[in-house]
Amino acid sequence: MTDTDGHTSGENTPGAPKPGGPKPGGPKPGGSKPGSPKPGGGPKPHPVATHVTTVTPALAAPSDPSKFGRVDDDGTAWVRTADGERQIGSWQAGDAAEGLAHFGRRYDDLSTEIALLEARLTAGSGDAKKTKAAAEALAETLPTAAVIGDLDALAERLQLVVEHSETAAAVARHEKEAERAAHTARKKELAAEAEQIGTESTQWKHAGDRLREILDEWKTIRGVDRKVDDALWKRYSKARENFNRRRGAHFADLDRERGAAKTRKEELVAQAEALSSSTEWGPTAAAFRDLLTEWKAAGRAPRDADDALWKNFKAAQDVFFAARNAAASERDAEFEANAVAKEELLQKYAGIDPGADLDAARASLRDLQEKWDALGKVPRDKMQELEGKLRAIEKSVRDAVDAQWRRTDPEALARAAQFRERVEQFEEQAAKASAAGKEKDAERAREQAQQWREWADAAEGAVGEL
């Protein structure tokens, strides 16, 4: 700007021409004619602060600089404000109209810069304190700004920005305090949860995962007062150490228990292997059931050892039960063969006819009974049928003997004595079978003894009635 003494000042003042420029109305040396624009375009606008470029202000229509100032024919530029008219600089790059437009554009640039501050404040972006400082800095430049436009309006806008920035800063402080309180409360909750896990939880896997999740969330929570944060961190750290200590003690106890279980299961495997060759099927099967009960009560050994020990224990079981099953299959085959042989005996002696020849029938029955007893046991599901058929033959002979006995009274006493002998014979058979553990054979002999006893009693009774 040119002062009253004719010296050029305001070299860095927005909108001021550079020193040494062309005189009003005179051509620029080596340049274009008067009134022509400068090569490369007009003067660059005032740069906008880069820290607010992300906020897009509402663009106002270009202002009319002629309402707020003028450029004289000699290039002197003036602006009018509520305080009066003041000179802002000198325009030597063209005619007065071009100078007026130039200073008007400089005003629009300044207005746009203020609009950026307004938009940033409205959007709530950035730091309210920085916005206020920028507005105050711009307000300080208005009295010397080399622009033509409604500077009073710009001053009012900047004042509103400053006032609203103070309010926004207060709101920001409140929000920051509320956020700090919320973050502090959240860390307190996490610390309390960690303490509960550290002292109570026995779900080691889940609890350990949860403590890691708490730590991950903890790292994302910021803005807590340092002293408070340090105290809360100590609570969390202590809780985690307590949990790790309890978990370590638990697994140490578990290792000891598994070691004891391993020793006990090794003993059970040895017992099972010793029993695997036994042929006492019933007692040994019961012993294996007892060993299995002890196995379950012993608890788990270390995984690899437990699997190997169980494999050995089960192998010993399999050896015994495979042998028992083979013996059972052999026995079943023997019983089936006995059943077939008894069916053949029944068919062979089906022709016994006590009515035709009682003595021959009785002899055949004795022969049948001896062969029957010699054949041994049959399958359980066929026993009743076969025994029933035999009993039917015995009954037919018994009924015939009883009828003959009743017809031959002189011989009744002798027959009664014979019947008593038969009773004694079957009772001896029953005693021998019982001593040998063959209770079914003993029971059958007792039944036959009882039948002969009834016949003897009947014979003796008949003799007494004569």
pLDDT by residue (tens digit) across 22-75?
Answer: 333 333 333 333 333 333 333 333 333 334 334 455 556 788 898 999 999 899
Task: Please tell me the predicted confidence (pLDDT) of residue 233.
Answer: 96
Q: What is the pLDDT of residues 319-336, one digit of tens each?
A: 988 998 888 787 788 888
pLDDT at 462 over 70: no
Helix pair 204-220, 226-275: axis angle to 10 deg: 160
Gap between the Cα atoms of 4 and 24, Å rounded? 17
Distances (CA, A) of 107 to 76, 138, 149, 290, 432: 17, 12, 6, 103, 136
Mean pLDDT of 226-236: 94
Gap between the Cα atoms of 25 and 123, Å rounded? 48
Rounded percentage of the chain residues whose pLDDT exceeds 90: 33
Task: Please tell me the predicted confidence (pLDDT) of residue 101.
Answer: 92
Mean pLDDT of 253-282: 89
Binned at pLDDT 50, 70 and 90, residue 13 comes out as very low
pLDDT at 461 over 80: no
Cβ atoms < 10 Å from Cβ of 165: 24
pLDDT at 283 over 80: yes
Q: What is the three-state SS of 172-212?
A: HHHHHHHHHHHHHHHHHHHHHHHHHHHHHCCCHHHHHHHHH
Task: Please tell me the predicted confidence (pLDDT) of residue 106.
Answer: 93
Mean pLDDT of 10-15: 38
Binned at pLDDT 50, 70 and 90, residue 366 comes out as confident
Binned at pLDDT 50, 70 and 90, residue 351 comes out as confident
Work out the mean pLDDT of the chain and round it to a whole number: 81
Q: Exposed, middle or buried, 401 (CB in 10 Å: 0-12/13-18/19+)?
A: buried
**Domain map of the chain by residue range?**
50-173, 176-257, 408-466
- Which among 224-233, 271-280, 321-330 has the top mean pLDDT? 224-233
Binned at pLDDT 50, 70 and 90, residue 155 comes out as very high
Amino acid at 297: A
Q: Higher-confidence residue: 96 or 11? A: 96
Task: Please tell me the predicted confidence (pLDDT) of residue 56.
Answer: 55
Distances (CA, A) of 108 to 63, 66, 81, 149, 341: 7, 13, 16, 8, 127
Binned at pLDDT 50, 70 and 90, residue 376 comes out as confident
Q: What is the three-state SS of the chain?
A: CECCCCCECCCCCCCCCCCCCCCCCCCCCCCCCCCCCCCCCCCCCCCCCHHHCCCCCCCCCCCCHHHCEEECCCCEEEEEECCEEEEEEECCCCCHHHHHHHHHHHHHHHHHHHHHHHHHHHHCCCCHHHHHHHHHHHHHHHHHCCCCCCHHHHHHHHHHHHHHHHHHHHHHHHHHHHHHHHHHHHHHHHHHHHHHHHHHCCCHHHHHHHHHHHHHHHHHCCCCCHHHHHHHHHHHHHHHHHHHHHHHHHHHHHHHHHHHHHHHHHHHHHHHHHHCCCCCHHHHHHHHHHHHHHHHHCCCCCHHHHHHHHHHHHHHHHHHHHHHHHHHHHHHHHHHHHHHHHHHHHHHCCCCCCCCCHHHHHHHHHHHHHHHHHHCCCCHHHHHHHHHHHHHHHHHHHHHHHHHHHHCHHHHHHHHHHHHHHHHHHHHHHHHHHHCCCHHHHHHHHHHHHHHHHHHHHHHHHHHHC
pLDDT at 257 over 80: yes
Task: Please tell me the predicted confidence (pLDDT) of residue 8.
Answer: 35
Please answer whether residues 108 and 62 qualify as being in contact, where contact means their C-beta atoms are separated by less than 8 angstroms.
yes
pLDDT at 4 over 80: no
Task: Please tell me the predicted confidence (pLDDT) of residue 279.
Answer: 87
Mean pLDDT of 79-102: 90
Binned at pLDDT 50, 70 and 90, residue 79 comes out as very high
Q: What is the pLDDT of residues 394-450, one digit of tens each?
A: 888 888 877 766 665 556 667 778 888 888 888 898 898 888 888 888 899 889 989
Binned at pLDDT 50, 70 and 90, residue 372 comes out as confident
Q: Higher-confidence residue: 193 or 166? A: 193
Backbone Cα Rg of the chain: 62
Q: What is the pLDDT of residues 187-221, one digit of tens each?
A: 999 999 999 999 999 999 999 999 999 999 999 99
pLDDT at 17 over 60: no
Gap between the Cα atoms of 264 and 258, Å rounded? 10
pTM: 0.40
Mean pLDDT of 283-293: 91
Please answer whether residues 67 and 79 qualify as being in contact, where contact means their C-beta atoms are separated by less than 8 angstroms.
no
